[in-house]
Amino acid sequence: MNDRQSRIEHARTRITKLVFPQDTNPIATLYGGTALKWMDEVAFLTATRFARCQVVTVSMDRVDFKVPIPQGAIVELVGEISDIGRTSMNVAVQILLENPLEGSQKLAIEGHLVMVAVDERMQPQAIEAMD
């Protein structure tokens, strides 16, 4: 495995969350805005772990809400680097709805975020070269 692939593997981020009442809307499903916040956090962690420098979110591409996530649900967020530019990284993020009795998971939400490496002046900086 080359250095690039190794860094991508190491940057993969998984976070498990429980959907509490304060995370839900009046019909007791996860607020879309809360899901987007969680996705941004996972993308930030994934990109930081890959680039090993400060990163910022510059865009969130299409986000697909496939199934509702009910209050009390266990979800797993998975972030993975899907593309790398000179200063930017595309991070694919999935939110998986888990069946707590079986352990099976179903894709509930997915989207892509573009993160950019920045310097102390908040200017884009090159991501360290890889093999």
pLDDT digits (tens, 9 = 90+) for 55-66: 999 999 899 999
User: Between these two residues, 26 and 3, which has the higher pLDDT value?
Assistant: 26
Predicted local distance difference test score (pLDDT) of residue 128: 81
Which H or E element spans position 7? helix 3-11
130 within a domain of the structure (yes/no):
no
Q: What is the pLDDT of residues 74-118, one digit of tens each?
A: 999 999 999 999 999 999 999 999 998 898 999 999 999 999 999
Query: In 3D, which of 59, 62, 51 has the Cα closest to residue 85?
Result: 51
User: What pLDDT, on the 0 to 100 scale, is given for residue 57?
Assistant: 98
Buried b (16+ CB within 10 A) or exposed e, 57-68: beebeebeeeee
Distance (Å, rounded) from C-alpha 32 to C-alpha 103? 24
Domain-embedded: residue 98: yes
Residues 23-43: pLDDT tens digits? 999 999 999 999 999 999 999
The total domain count for the chain is 1
Report if residue 126 sits inside a domain.
Answer: no
Residue 128 lies in a domain: no
Tell me if 127 is assigned to some domain: no
Strand ranges for 66-104 from DSSP E: 74-84, 88-98
Task: Quote the pTM value.
Answer: 0.94
> Do the domain assignments include residue 124?
no
Question: The domain containing residue 20 runs over which residues?
Answer: 3-117
Whether 22 maps to a domain, the answer reads: yes
Domain with residue 63: its CATH number is: 3.10.129.10
Check residue 2 and give its pLDDT: 76
Within a domain: 70: yes
Quick one: pLDDT at residue 131?
46
Q: Is there a contact between 76 and 20 (Cβ–Cβ < 8 Å)?
A: no
Q: Report, as an integer, the average pLDDT of 117-124.
A: 96
